[in-house]
Structure 1
Amino acid sequence: MRAAVLQDIRDIRVLDIPEPKPLAEDELIIRVKAVGVCGSDLHSYLEGGTTGPTQVRPFVLGHEFSGVLTPDSARKAGFSADALVAVDPSIPCGHCEWCHRGHTNLCPNVKFLGYAPHNGAMAEFVCVPKSAVHVVPDSIDPAGAAILETLGVAIHAMDLARPRLQETVAVLGCGPVGLLLVQLARLAGSGKIIAIDPVEQRTALACDLGADVACRSFAEVGEATEGRGVDLVIEATDSSHGFEHAARCARIGGRVVLVGIPENNQYVLSGAES
């Protein structure tokens, strides 16, 4: 099958690789229909991973995806052969302290599809356990099903943020996660929502989706709030200055939730050496 293989930093190639085969009774084969490109994929491409520059062992990227089960897998799972499915790429061990606590997202033994050394979905087929497969309604298309993983990230961030009714909120970074956070903040009953991104097209879209104010940088938040700052800042950038910028947006006693992964896996202060 054809797959996009990350061979090394800044070196991705479309190659022929063997099709995956189920190694356990509960594993299913999915024909991939749509794949998103996550910020962590970009970190892997630029740095080798999300923990800073590291050596790359070739693997297939892609963890935001949807697809349909192969006929044999559909029969085995008891699903319709043409059913569209979304997939949770995070496969916890189920045995560690964190899994027993119910915090499977923190499992240190997690197998995460599309993150080295585990192949992901930028390929024709991918093998996953049945527990990771979720049939989606007919109203959701393959691209929409692929972004459900991203929506899960945004929902988890909002769960941690616990927005209060009519609080002012700043979303720092208006990529896909940031745009989802804007919509969730509006649904949560937030007051003024400020979208911050240097790309005007992104902040314009954020305003279409529920933001009240568009800012090109964190420095404009003071003017938008008459010097007060906002109650809640949700940072969703890849900037190594993201934490500092988020803190500067917050009012005295405000809250900051970090969602983005900084460049080189480091936060630095303006003017400080990395």
Structure 2
Amino acid sequence: MAAKNASAQGFSKEEKENMAVWLVGPRTLQIQPYNLPSLGPEDARIRIKAVGICGTDVHFFKELKMGNYIVKKPIVPGHECAGIVEEVGAGVKHLSPGDRVAIEPSIGCWQCHTCRQGRYNICPELKFFSLPPVNGALANYVVHPAKNCFKLSDTLTFEEGALCEPLSCAIHACRRANISVETNVLVVGAGPIGLLTMLAARAFGSPRILVLDIEDSHLEVAKKLGADGVIKVSINIDEVEKEVEKIKVAMDGKIDVSFDCVGLSKTMLTSLQATSSGGKVCLIGLGHANMSAPLTGNVAAREVDLVGTFCYTNTWPLAIELIRSGKIDVKALITHRFGFSQKEAQEAFETSADDGNAIKVMFNL
């Protein structure tokens, strides 16, 4: 028997005709059928209720690539997601149909050295919703390992459940950088990840946080969410030296950790030069696959540690608790909402890609 708690009437017509948004070309989306894999004994079938658009989704939408990941065939986007459990496999004990869950989209092999160490995010066989060639969650239904599904309390919305994913990126980065009550922080980039990193750093105890961005609207949101200071910067790499001086004045010359939430040569150069000697630069953003930065004079001569982050490990319980307790308000990041239709899917991605005022664009299915 492959599953328990299945409806005695079998699947409905709607369940059989699972539909998804497919990225079929640059800036081209189509809603088409999506045949799900069969339900395994440790899986759950989930009716998706909320999906957020991530910066990686936008990269693929615009260019069919991000870093070393390339879309070579049509793919379902979306990995920030939450929904309702419809059916569980026979081996699943912690979930039942009707449970509301936030979904961790990454799947390690659980056999390799890094997985056995608990660092499944860097598993060489990692599978991840919407990272080619794995399909994502912008669909009526998905099948996913049940252990990657975390119950939501009744007080949390599906949108909050979906935003556990980007918040998890921020939590993982704060853990990697050892943020504490003694850590002054610079956040470079006030997009969703930058803003959530700011909120997570505050929740981890950081007493002072400065945020940089090129958009006034994003900096306004950062101020509303509690940034101690904001500075508007340019995209011109020749302006770094002048901007770093402003940053140092604003932070009294003490920046223990800089989070590069963009991932460009300019943002990395700013982060390295602004960070105090003996501090850390944590790279979160994946803007460019290759960056150029003066490592000798910073990483070597000033012992500024350069720390990489990729996704997250074991963060969902903390993310859910930070939202449930009110320590982090993720709803404040949602600027646009769309339904599940051909027209709205296209409009949602165009908005996320081109509207400078958009921060988090959310689908409600």
Q: Deviations over 1:96-140 (max 9, x none)?
A: 111122211111101111111111111111110111111111111
Q: Which of 227, 235, 239 does residue 211 from structure 1 map onto?
A: 227
Aligned to 1:7: 24
Partner SS for 2:179: coil
The 2-side partners of 1:56 and 1:129 are apart by 25
- Structure 1 stretches (4+) deviating beyond 6 angstroms? none
- Other structure's SS at 1:234 match: strand
Map 1:56-205 to 2 at 5 A.
56-70=72-86, 72-73=87-88, 77=92, 79-205=95-221
Structure 2 length-normalised TM: 0.67
Identical columns (%): 29
1:239 aligns with 2:264: yes
Aligned to 2:32: 16
Change beyond 3 A, Cα 1:76–1:168: closer
Does the aligned pair in 2 maintain the 1:64–1:150 contact within 8 Å?
A: yes
Alignment gaps of 5+ in structure 2: 1-17, 234-239, 295-365
Instruction: Give the length in aligned residue pairs.
Output: 266
Range that drifts further, 168-177 or 52-61: 52-61
SS class of match (1:251): coil
Equivalent pair of 2:78/2:138 in contact (CA under 8 Å): yes
146-155 or 43-52: bigger deviation? 43-52
Native 8 Å contact 1:33 1:66 kept in 2: yes
Shift of 1:55: 5.1
The 3-state SS of whatever aligns with 1:186 is: helix
- Which residue of the partner structure matches residue 248 of structure 1? 273
From 16, 30, 36, the counterpart of 2:52: 36
Contact 1:22 1:28 in 2 (8 A): no
Q: Structure 1 residues 225 and 28, CA, compared in 2 at 3 Å: closer, same or farther?
A: closer
Helix, strand or coil at the partner of 1:3? strand
Q: Residues 238, 36 of structure 1: CA spacing in aligned structure 2 closer, same or farther, 3 A cutoff?
A: farther
- Distance apart, 1:53 and its partner CA: 7.4
Cα 1:57–1:173, aligned 2, differ >3 Å: closer, same or farther?
same
Please state whether the residue corresponding to 2:66 is helix, strand or coil: coil
Q: Aligned partners of 1:266 and 1:113: how far apart in 2?
A: 24
Which letter maps to 2:274? Answer: C
Q: Which amino acid aligns with 1:267?
A: M
Aligned-residue offset at 1:191: 2.8
Deviates more, 1:189-198 or 1:134-143: 189-198
> Which of 258, 268, 272 is equivalent to 2:292?
268
Helix, strand or coil at the partner of 2:118: coil
Q: CA deviation at 1:74?
A: 8.5
Contact 1:29 1:128 in 2 (8 A): yes
Indicate yes or no: 2:240 matched with 1:225: no
Alpha-carbon offset, residue 238 of structure 1:
4.6
